Structure 1
Amino acid sequence: MKELTKAEEQVMQIVWELKKTSVRDVVAKFPEPKPAYTTVATVMNALEKKGFTDKIPAGKSHLFSVKIPKDEYSGYKAGSLVNNYFNGSFSRMASFFAKDNKLSIQELEEMIEIAKREINKEK
Structure 2
Amino acid sequence: MKQLTKAEEDIMQVLWDLGEANVASINEKFPEPKPAYNTVSTIVRILESKEFVGYRKEGRGHIYYPLVPKSDYSNQSLNKLVDSYFQGSFKSMVSFFMKKNDISIKEMEAILKEINKKK
Indicate whether the TM-score tops 0.5: yes
Aligned: 1:29 with 2:29: yes
Specify the SS of the correspondent of 2:103.
Answer: coil
Secondary structure of the residue aligned to 2:65 is strand
For structure 2, the residue ranges without an aligned partner over 5 or more in a row are none
What is aligned with 1:58? 58
Structure 1 residue 66: Cα displacement:
1.3
Give identity over the alignment, percent: 44
> Relative to structure 1, is the Cα distance of residues 106 and 99 closer, same or farther in structure 2, using a 3 angstrom cutoff?
same
Shift in alpha-carbon separation, 1:77–1:116, aligned structure 2, 3 A: farther
Instruction: Return the TM-score normalized by structure 2.
Output: 0.91
The alignment covers a number of residue pairs equal to 119
Instruction: Read off the aligned partner of 2:91 and give its amino acid letter.
Output: S
Q: Deviations over 1:29-59 (max 9, x none)?
A: 1111111111000000111111111121111
> Separation in 2 of the partners of 1:3 and 1:55?
21
Q: Distance in 1 between matches of 2:72 and 2:107?
A: 23
Q: What's 2:76 paired with?
A: 76
Structure 1 runs not aligned, ≥5 long: none
Does structure 2 conserve the Cα–Cα contact (< 8 Å) formed by 1:54 and 1:66? yes
Residue 115 of structure 1: how far off its partner (Å): 4.6
Which consecutive segments of 4 or more residues in structure 1 shift more than 2 A? Answer: 106-118
Question: Which residue is equivalent to 1:8?
Answer: 8
Normalised by the length of structure 1, the TM-score is 0.88
Give the secondary structure class of the aligned counterpart of 1:25.
Answer: helix
Higher relative contact order (CA 8 A, sep 6+): 2
